[in-house]
Chains A and B, each alone.
Chain A
Amino acid sequence: MEAVKTQDVGVNDLPWIIEYHADRCTMCGSCVASCSFNAIKVVMQKQSLTVSEASVPTPKHTHIARPIIKQVASLTDFCRGCGMCEKICPNNAIHPVRNPDQRRHLLAKDNGPLKRGGRTNLNAQRALDSIVVGRISQMTDPSLDAARHTFDIRAPFGRVLDSHELPFEIVDGKLVKKHRTPPVQWIYPLIFSDMSIGALSTRAWEAVALAVGYLNEKCGLPVRMSSGEGGMPVKLLESEYLKYFIIQIASGHFGWNRIIKAMPHMVTDPGGVLIKIGQGAKPGDGGLLPEAKVAEHVQAIRGVPKATLASPPNHQGLYSIEESVQKMHLSMNAAFGFRVPVAIKCAASATSVSVYNNLLRDPYKICGGFFIDGIQGGTGAANEISLDHTGHPVVSKIRDCYLAAVKQGRQGQIPLYGGGGIGMTGDAAADAFKMMCLGANGVFVGKVLIQLLGCVGNEQGRCNSCNTGKCPMGICSQDPRLVKRLDVDRGAQKIVDYVLTFDKELKKLMAPIGNSSLPIGRSDALVSTDKAVADRLGIQYVC
Chain B
Amino acid sequence: MFKIETMKGHERMSTQDLLLAIEKAVKDGETEFEIAASGQHDIGGPLWNADGKTLHFHVTNAGQRVGSMCLPGTEIVVDESTSADVGWLNAGGLITVRGDAGDTAGHCSSGGRIYIGGRAGTRTGSLMKHDPLYEEPELWILKNVGSFSFEFMGGGRAVVCGWDSEAFDSVLGERPCVGMVGGVVYVRGPIDQLPGDVRPHALAQEDIDFLAGGMDKFLAAVGHEELAAELSDWSQWQKLVPLTQAEKKALPKPAGVAAFRRTEWVKGGIFSDVAHDDFAVHNTLSHGLYRLRVPSWDNAKYAAPCEFHCPTGIPTQRRLGLIRQGKLDEALQLELDYTPFPGSVCGSVCPNPCMDGCTRGTIDFPIQIGDLGYKSAFTPVAAPTEHTGKTVAVIGGGVAGLSAAWQLARKGHSVTVYDDAAHIGGKLEQVIPRGRLSHELLEAELKRIESVGVKFVSGCKVDRTKFAALQKENDAVIVATGGTKSRFFPWEGVEHLTMGLEYLKAINRGEKPATGKHVVVIGAGNSGMDTCRGAYEMGAETVVAVDVQKPAAFADEIAYIEGLGGKLVWPFFTNKITKEGVYANDGRFIPADQVIVSIGEEPVLDFLPDDERIQYFRKSWLVPDAQQAILPGVFTAGDTIKPGRLTDAIGSGRKAAWYADQYLRGTAEPFPEKQEIPAERLSKAYFDRCHFCDLGDPVDDHTRCVSCGTCRDCKMCLESCPEEAITRKENADGSWEYVSDPERCIGCGICAGVCPCGVWTIQPNPEKIPMYSTGQQA
A and B: interacting chains: yes
| A297 touches which of B258, B753, B775 (Cβ 8 Å) | B775
Question: Taking A235-B266, A492-B261 as contacts, is the C-beta distance between A45 and B685 under 8 angstroms?
Answer: yes
Specify which chain A residues have a CB less than 8 angstroms from the CB of B752 in the assembled complex.
42
Nearest CB in chain B to that of A40: its residue: B749
Residues of B with C-beta under 8 A to A487: 281
Residue among A27, A46, A205 making CB contact with B686, cutoff 8 Å: A46
Interface string of A231-261 (1 = CB under 8 A from B): 0011110010100000000000000000001
Interface SS of chain B: helix, strand, loop or mixed?
A: loop
A478 touching B772, Cβ below 8 Å: yes
Does A42 lie within 8 Å of B688, measured CB to CB? no
With A206-B269, A214-B257: A300-B775 Cβ-Cβ less than 8 Å: yes
B256 nearest CB across to chain A (Å): 5
A114 within 8 Å of B by Cβ? no
Would A489 and B258 be within 8 Å (CB), given that A33-B748, A297-B772 are in contact?
yes
> Which A residues touch B685, using CB under 8 A?
43-46, 65
**Measured CA separation A493–B720 after assembly (Å):** 41
Assembled-state Cα–Cα distance A91/B151 (Å):
50
Q: How far is the CA of A239 from the CA of B148 in the complex (A)?
A: 41
Is B756 an interface residue, CB under 8 A from the partner? yes
Chain A residues with Cβ under 8 A from B688's Cβ?
A: 46, 48, 61, 63
A481 touches B765 (CB 8 A): yes
Q: Is the CB of B771 closer than 8 A to any CB of chain A? A: yes
Choose one: B178, B291, B750; the contact of A42 (CB below 8 Å): B750
Knowing A147-B179, A235-B270, A493-B256 are in contact, say whether A202-B277 is a contact too (CB < 8 A): yes
Q: What's the least CB distance linking A317 to chain B, in Å?
A: 28
B539 at the binding interface (Cβ < 8 Å): no
Residues of A within 8 A of B778 (CB): 234, 261-262, 265
Query: Which A residue's beta carbon lies closest to that of B689?
Result: A48
Give the contacting residue for A27; candidates B271, B683, B684, B750; CB below 8 A: B750
Kindly state the separation between the CA atoms of A87 and B284 in the bound complex, as whole angstroms. Answer: 10
Does A272 have its Cβ within 8 Å of any Cβ on chain B? no
Q: Which of A205, A234, A480 contacts B769 (CB 8 A)?
A: A480
Least distance between A85 CB and chain B CB atoms (Å): 10
Interface status of A67 (Cβ within 8 A of chain B): yes
* B-contact 0/1 string along A261-302, CB 8 Å cutoff: 110010000000000000000000000000000011111110
Complex: A485 Cα to B689 Cα, angstroms:
46
**B257 and A209 form a contact (CB under 8 A):** no
Contact with A along B740-776 (1 / 0, CB 8 A): 0000001111101110100000100100010111110
Asked whether any CB of chain B lies closer than 8 Å to the CB of A134, the reply is no
- Docked CA distance A301–B686 (Å): 53
- Is B175 interfacial (CB-CB < 8 Å)? yes
Which residue of chain B has the shortest Cβ distance to A70 in the bound complex?
A: B753
Query: Separation in Å of the B453 CB from the closest CB of chain A?
Result: 49
Partner of B258 from the list A3, A41, A481, A493 (CB cut-off 8 Å) is: A493
Q: A478-B772, A483-B771 are in contact. Are A32 and B748 (CB under 8 A)?
A: yes
- Knowing A33-B293, A234-B273, the reply to whether A217 touches B260 (Cβ < 8 A) is yes
Known interface pairs A30-B748, A206-B271; A297-B773 also in contact (CB < 8 Å): yes
Instruction: Write out the residue numbers on chain B whose beta carbons fall within 8 Å of the beta carbon of A44.
Output: 683, 685-686, 753-754, 756
Using A33-B291, A45-B685, A88-B285 as known contacts, say yes or no to A210 and B265 having CB atoms under 8 A apart: yes
Cα-based distance from A488 to B258 in the complex (angstroms): 8
**Residues from chain B with Cβ under 8 Å of A298 in the complex:** 772
B236: CB under 8 A from chain A? no
Let me know if B775 and A239 touch, CB within 8 A. Answer: no
Please judge, given known A-B contacts A44-B686, A489-B257, A493-B257, whether A301 and B769 are in contact too, CB under 8 Å: no
**B722 close to A (CB within 8 Å):** yes
Residue ID in chain A nearest B774 by CB atoms: A300
Whether A311 sits at the interface, judged by CB under 8 Å, is no
- Which residues of B, 238-270, contact A by the 8 Å Cβ criterion? 254, 256-258, 260-261, 264-266, 268-270
Cα(A57)–Cα(B393), bound, Å? 69
The answer for the CA separation of A84 and B283 in the assembled complex, in Å, is 12
Give which listed residue, A27, A36, A203, A297, contacts B722 with CB less than 8 A: A27
| B contact residues around A148 at 8 Å (CB) | 148, 151, 175, 178-179
A65 to B293, CA, bound (A): 25
Asked if B280 is an interface residue, CB under 8 A from chain A, the answer is: yes
Task: Tell me the nearest residue of chain A to B777, going by C-beta.
Answer: A261
Cross-chain contact of B260 among A203, A213, A482 (Cβ < 8 A): A213
Question: Which chain B residues border A485 with CB–CB below 8 Å?
Answer: 281-284
B281 & A296 in contact (Cβ 8 Å cutoff): no
Complex contacts, A4 vs chain B, CB 8 Å: none
Q: With a 10 A CB-CB cut-off, give which of B257, B265, B774 has the most chain A CB atoms.
A: B257
A442 CB, nearest partner CB in chain B, Å: 23
Question: A28 near B: Cβ within 8 Å?
Answer: yes
| CB closest chain-B residue, reference A63 | B688
Query: A297-B275, A481-B769 given as contacts; is B686 within 8 A of A65 (CB)?
Result: yes
Give bound CA distance, A213 to B257, whole Å: 9
Is there an interface contact between B257 and A211, defined as CB atoms closer than 8 Å? yes
Q: Is the interface of A mostly helix, strand, loop or mixed?
A: helix
User: Which of B290, B683, B722, B748 contacts A484 (CB under 8 A)?
Assistant: B290
Asked whether B280 lies within 8 Å of A484 as measured between CB atoms, the reply is yes
- Pick the most buried of B273, B284, B291, B688: most chain A CB atoms within 10 A of its CB: B284
User: Is B281 touching A241 in the complex (CB atoms < 8 A)?
Assistant: no
Name the residue in B178, B723, B753 with the highest tally of chain A Cβ atoms < 10 Å from its Cβ: B753
CA distance A357 to B748 in the complex (A): 59
Beta-carbon nearest neighbor of A486 in chain B:
B281
Give CA–CA (A410, B684) in the complex, Å: 76
Contact across chains for B749 and A41 when beta carbons are under 8 A apart: yes
A148-B148, A481-B286 known; A29 vs B260 contact (CB < 8 Å)? no
Check A296–B772 contact: CB distance below 8 A: yes
- A301 CB contacts on chain B under 8 angstroms: 274, 775
Chain B residues, CB < 8 A from A206:
269-271
A 42-68 binary contact with B (CB < 8 Å = 1; else 0): 111110100000000000010101010
Smallest Cβ-Cβ distance to A491: which chain B residue: B257
Cα–Cα distance between A493 and B178 once the two chains are bound (Å): 26
| A297 in contact with B774 (CB, 8 Å) | yes
Pick the most buried of A33, A205, A209, A485: most chain B CB atoms within 10 A of its CB: A33
- The proximity string for B residues 719-733 relative to A, scoring 1 for CB distances below 8 Å and 0 otherwise, is 010110000000000
The docked-state distance in angstroms from the alpha carbon of A42 to that of B258 is 39
A63 to B257 Cα, complex, angstroms: 58
Tell me the complex Cα distance, A76–B748, Å: 20
Q: Does residue A387 face the partner (Cβ distance < 8 Å to B)? A: no
Alpha-carbon separation in the docked complex, A213 to B772 (Å): 24
Which chain A residue shows the least CB distance to B771?
A480
Quick check: is A496 within 8 A (CB to CB) of the other chain?
yes
Contact call B277/A203, Cβ cutoff below 8 A: yes
User: In the complex, what distance in Å separates the CA atom of A203 from the CA atom of B722?
Assistant: 31
The answer to whether B689 touches A239 (Cβ under 8 A) is no
Asked whether, in the complex, the Cβ of A233 is within 8 Å of the Cβ of B270, the reply is yes
> Which residues of A does B touch, CB under 8 Å?
3, 26-30, 32-34, 36, 41-46, 48, 61, 63, 65, 67, 84, 87-88, 147-148, 202-203, 205-206, 209-211, 213-214, 217-218, 233-236, 239, 241, 261-262, 265, 295-301, 478, 480-490, 492-493, 496
Query: Sorted from nearest, which 7 A-B pairs have the closest CB atoms?
Result: A42-B753, A29-B748, A300-B774, A46-B685, A297-B274, A489-B258, A63-B688
27 A/B residue pairs, CB under 8 Å, sorted by A: A27-B750, A28-B722, A29-B722, A33-B293, A34-B285, A42-B752, A44-B683, A44-B756, A48-B688, A65-B683, A65-B685, A65-B686, A88-B284, A147-B178, A213-B265, A235-B269, A241-B265, A241-B266, A300-B274, A301-B775, A480-B772, A483-B771, A485-B283, A490-B258, A490-B281, A492-B257, A496-B256
> Known pairs A206-B269, A300-B775. 10 more at Cβ < 8 A?
A29-B746, A42-B754, A46-B686, A67-B754, A147-B178, A235-B270, A235-B273, A297-B774, A484-B290, A487-B281
- The residues of B with any CB-CB pair to A shorter than 8 Å are 148, 151, 175, 178-179, 254, 256-258, 260-261, 264-266, 268-275, 277, 279-286, 290-293, 362, 683-686, 688-689, 720, 722-723, 746-750, 752-754, 756, 762, 765, 769, 771-775, 778
